[in-house]
Structure formats: C-alpha cells, structure tokens
Amino acid sequence: MKYPNGTKMIKSNYKDNFTSKQSFGNRGMTLEEDINATNNYYVETDRAIIHKKPTPVQIVNVNYPKRSAAVITEGYFKQASTTDYNGIYRNKYIDFEAKVTKNKTLFPLANIHEHQIKHMESITRHGGISFIVIRFALYNETYFLQGEKLFSYWNDKLKGGRKSIPYQAIKEEGFFIPFHYQARVNYLSIIDKLYF
C-alpha cells in the first residue's frame, strides 16, 4: 500500500497505530494536538478563548543556505515557561498544564517544575481556574485534576512524601475526559460541573 504522496507504508508503524486499546478517532494524535483541536473548536463555536502559550526563545545564530530557507542553528529559552495554555471562559481566567506519562501506575511529579506550581497557585489565589490535564498513554485515558489537588501532592512531596501521584488516586480524585469528535479533550464540561 502507498500513501497519497507515493511513499510505501511501513507495516510495523501500521500495527503500532492500530492497537485495540486506542479509540478509532484518536489514533496517532498527541495530547497537544487534541487540546489544540479542542481549543480551536471552542473558539469557532464562541464558547471560550483559550490558546497555547508561545515559548519565548532568543535566537542567537541563523544560517542562510538559500535566500528563501533560513535555518536557526542556535537559540535559547529567554525564561522558564509557566503553563501550556491560558485564556478566558465565562468571565473566568483559565490556566492549565498538559502532561503525558507512559507510566502505568503513577504520574511522576518530576514532570512538573516548581515555578509552574507557584504560577498555578498564584492563578488560583487570584480567583482563576488552574488545573492539569494528564494523559496515561498506555491506557489512552485522559484526566482533569484540579490545581488544589495537585498542590496537595506537591506539598506532600516537599515534606518528604511521595514523589508521584498514583494512577488510582487520579482516577478517584480527578475527572475522566472521554474522547469526543470535535472537542477531543472537552475539559470545559468538567469546569462547568466544578465551578459553575
């Protein structure tokens, strides 16, 4: 079999992309792609305005092999990033982080940085809604975990406690986000239940 561009399909990739644990509509999609598609749907339907934050980069060196093709060869992050997404929904500021783990039994807190937690705590303190979306890649399950619950696990870690959140705890304390065709990661439905 060949793709429309004429290249041959590699069978091993074909099998990997069509495992029985994945839903039909979600094959090959990353969490970021799913959230971006969801946010586009929210904007198009005038439900919310939420976007991925750009990461500020300082470009140091550019190679110009041709006039029409500049290649950045050296660059640095200007500052530590805060969270992945922000915007507004029903007069509330929304700010959240999205993470994927391949771990079966837990979500490692090492996947989050202290400056991100401080930023999320500040958002919550000022009346905004802050949370984390976690995808367990091996189960193809996505969960919404409120910032306040995340902060509790983080503070426990700082006091010498667990350095992770158990999968079972996320299932019990978080909210499962089922896959939908248009709003693939429909986190606003959970925000509606929790805050409005």
Tens-digit pLDDT string for the chain (196 aa): 444 444 444 443 333 333 334 343 444 469 999 999 999 999 999 999 999 987 767 777 888 877 778 887 877 766 667 899 999 999 999 999 999 999 999 999 999 999 999 999 999 999 999 999 999 999 999 999 999 999 999 999 999 999 999 999 999 999 999 999 899 999 999 999 999 9
82 annotated to a ligand binding site: yes
Antiparallel, parallel or unpaired: β 129-136 and 92-101: parallel
84 annotated to a ligand binding site: yes
- Region of residue 169 (phi > 0: left; psi between -120 and 50: alpha; otherwise: beta): alpha
Q: What are phi and psi of 193, to 5 degrees?
A: -70, -40
- Region of residue 190 (phi > 0: left; psi between -120 and 50: alpha; otherwise: beta): alpha
**Cβ atoms within 10 Å, residue 102:** 8
pTM of the full structure: 0.77
d(CA 128, CA 86): 10
Per-domain residue ranges of the chain? 23-54+80-195
83 annotated to a ligand binding site: no
The rounded Cα 85 to chain-centroid distance in angstroms is 8
The pLDDT score that the predictor gives to residue 174 is 98
The residue written with tokens 């909210």 in the block is 175
d(CA 143, CA 107): 11
30 annotated to a ligand binding site: no
Q: How far apart are the two ends of the chain, measured CA to CA in Å? A: 51
Please answer whether residues 137 and 102 qualify as being in contact, where contact means their C-beta atoms are separated by less than 8 angstroms: yes
Helices assigned H by DSSP within 6-113: 11-17, 31-44
Domain 23-54+80-195 is of which CATH architecture? 3-Layer(aba) Sandwich (3.40)
